[in-house]
Structure 1
Amino acid sequence: MIDIWKQIEKMQFSPIYLLYGIESYLINETKQKLVKNVLTDEEMDFNLANYDLEETSIEVALEDAETFPFMGEKRLIFLHNAFFLTSEKGKQRVEHNLSKLEEYIQNPPPYTILVIIAPYEKLDERKKITKQLKKHASILEAKKLNEIDLKKWVLQKVAENEVHIDDDAVDLLITLAGTNLMMLSAEIDKLSLFVGVSNSIKGETVENLTSRSLEQNIFSLVDKVVHRKISEALRIYYDLLKQNEEPIKILSILANQFRLLYQTKELQRRGYGQQQMATYLKVHPFRIKLAAGQAKLFSEEELKRIMLLCADSDYQMKTSGMNKIMIIEMLLFKLSKSA
């Protein structure tokens, strides 16, 4: 991913790109880098085109790709929703003559950059067209970033803003803001503006200025419960209420966090590694790392008992008519005694 971006920024373009995966932010960021570096503002009206392959046949799009650019040196063509690269069924609204695309891949015109976008988790590797693209195209797999790649991405975003960030500040930023790239990007822009060009983002600045995600606030709440700091846990809870978070939503995420601790602990017992657990549970590896740290502070029996307490509170919210805010207050007191 980083290598493709560096090549684009150095104006080293491939005739064909394949962008696939479910991390839409990475796909959109790659598109923006291509537009910025391939075309001038004046050329965009004439040499930039977007096609939805669920609505338009590949033949029409390729005819445009084979047309000489007007008032410029390059054409940039985006082909969205290339569902024919997957094994998914039921999305085909138009017929595609894929032999035309196969011919294009073998001999792409030098004046066009063709970007094929498949926003799906997996491609069908058995298909001939998939094999050809994997062989001839520059490929970006837009998957959820692991911890190492996430840190690299943060460092690159910070560098693009012409500022620096301390190593400990990178870890703290990810811990506080979470792993959603759009939220992280917004936080990086805010921190960069605060410190100014050529200055450094330090841990203290991250601590004071970073907006916590709801999940991170729940993580912090659990941490306070674990260490029997009930007054601090309640303060986080009341802050969430001031932010108009619904008690039932807070309870749901709280229960999910304890469920994740239990699942992580059980999978660790079975010998799973961090990446294996992330894949199995379908959560970000960084969340698994944080959960593993908290799970060490509980026995399996304690976590089972806590999940039952959460389930009982959920039942009370939906059936008893009790004050929902008070139900969670009572739950937090019970949890602090169980921890």
Structure 2
Amino acid sequence: MIENLWKNIKKKEFSSIYLLYGSEAFLINETKQLVIQEAVDLDEEDFNLSSYDLEETAIEVALEDAETIPFLGERKVVLLHNPFFLTSEKTKSKVEHNVKKLEAYIKEPSPYTILVFVGNYEKLDERKKITKELKKNASILEAKKLTETELKNWMRQRASYNRVEMDEAALETMLQLAGTNLFLLTSEVDKMALYVQDSKLITKEIVEELVAKSLEQNIFSLVDKIITRKIDEALRIYYDLLKQNEEPLKILAIITNQFRLIYQVKGLAKTGYGQQQIASVLKVHPFRVKLAAGQAQKFTEEQLMKCISLFAEADYQMKTGGLPKNMIIEMILFQLNHDLRK
């Protein structure tokens, strides 16, 4: 879907109206920038590119702009951010929109304007007439979070764009180290592509050498070391995080969330839920569920509950004073190492 949309934009086969929405901000932003790049010359942007926040500006103001003939060039782009009236979400905005005027515009859009609705909304309210009209008449990008397979395909395509390749082990390692954020994955692939200009191949070893782990991925590794009873390596990761000026309280919160996720995944899997269903229920990426499911096999439910209780006690100690915060996590790691060996 997105490939066809981008292909038409690059061929300058524009729609009069675009509707870009969903939870994957990177795809929305890339599509928006592509429309601007292909539709308006750089030296005409001051005249033929407008942007409105619909939480602050009434739609009729933007439509008046859309109906105005371009000052220079053959077309103009009008960006409409935060079209909250397409959703059932509550907003603090006090702006009143003349939706009837928008409905009329959608039926007869300006021939020299590209109108682009941009909203980071997971869902639109399909019951509303304006939503139905827009979805009937606009080119639509519903930017959902990509699956593990789609993320790997995205990285392959990005590598190919940079005239290099990534092997399967490199793709898997990238997801483990950098997570599922498309902004970060794209940036890392671009960086590694420059590094491998001679070999033209990004391998697992190169990913491990060059990719900077996110805080969450460092915590995942730390938890993995706890599970495999490698307390010295877990402490080494923890001390590295402290050197990076990460707050012990924040580190503890992410460790706690990871163990809570492992516990929830284990419980739901026990009742017969598949990984995709679990991801939907917990509202997390399926790849995180896949990793947590692997970790869950190393624990009993009782062990996980005991871990979570220890973290809750550590959180209380950090917030009420007493021992230094960094020492509290050290003690917790040693305690876990001792308890999990039983």
Q: Does TM-score exceed 0.5, indicating one fold?
A: yes
Distance 1:101 1:153 in 2: 35
Q: Paired residue for 2:258?
A: 257
Aligned to 1:96, the other structure's residue is in SS state coil
Q: Paired residue for 2:212?
A: 211
Q: Paired residue for 1:272?
A: 273
Mapped contact 1:306–1:338 kept (Cα < 8 A)? no
Q: Which structure 2 residues correspond to residues 202-241 of structure 1 after superposition, within 5 A?
A: 202-241=203-242
Offset at residue 132 of structure 1 (A) = 1.1
- CA deviations 1:261-288 (Å, max 9, x no partner) are 0000001112222222122212222111
Q: Paired residue for 1:153?
A: 154
Paired residues, number: 339
Aligned to 1:256, the other structure's residue is in SS state helix
Offset at residue 320 of structure 1 (A) = 5.2
Percent identity, please: 62
Check 1:77–1:334 CA distance in 2 against 1; reply closer, same or farther (3 A cut).
same
Distance 2:71 2:83 in 1: 27
Distance 1:114 1:122 in 2: 20
Q: Paired residue for 2:94?
A: 93
Q: Paired residue for 1:124?
A: 125
**Runs of 5+ consecutive residues of structure 2 not aligned to the other structure:** none
- CA deviations 1:76-118 (Å, max 9, x no partner) are 1111111111123344433222222212222223322110122
Distance 1:6 1:169 in 2: 28
Check 1:254–1:151 CA distance in 2 against 1; reply closer, same or farther (3 A cut).
same
Mapped contact 1:85–1:118 kept (Cα < 8 A)? no
Q: Paired residue for 1:288?
A: 289
Distance 1:197 1:83 in 2: 49
Check 1:10–1:289 CA distance in 2 against 1; reply closer, same or farther (3 A cut).
farther
Mapped contact 2:84–2:91 kept (Cα < 8 A)? no
Distance 1:12 1:273 in 2: 42
1:203 alignment partner AA: K
Q: Paired residue for 2:71?
A: 70
Distance 2:91 2:80 in 1: 19
Aligned to 1:141, the other structure's residue is in SS state strand
Mapped contact 1:161–1:197 kept (Cα < 8 A)? no
Aligned to 2:117, the other structure's residue is in SS state strand
1:129 alignment partner AA: I
Distance 1:5 1:69 in 2: 24
Say what the alpha-carbon RMSD is for the aligned residues.
1.9
Q: Paired residue for 2:84?
A: 83
Offset at residue 289 of structure 1 (A) = 0.9
Distance 2:53 2:238 in 1: 45
Q: Paired residue for 2:9?
A: 8
Offset at residue 26 of structure 1 (A) = 2.2
Distance 1:156 1:141 in 2: 20
Q: Paired residue for 2:112?
A: 111
Aligned to 1:49, the other structure's residue is in SS state strand
Aligned to 2:52, the other structure's residue is in SS state strand
Distance 2:157 2:75 in 1: 27
Check 1:44–1:279 CA distance in 2 against 1; reply closer, same or farther (3 A cut).
same
- CA deviations 1:299-339 (Å, max 9, x no partner) are 11111111112222222323351122222122112222333
Distance 1:333 1:89 in 2: 46
Q: Paired residue for 1:54?
A: 55
- CA deviations 1:229-253 (Å, max 9, x no partner) are 1111111111111111111211111
Distance 1:103 1:159 in 2: 44
Q: Paired residue for 1:319?
A: 320
Mapped contact 1:17–1:116 kept (Cα < 8 A)? yes
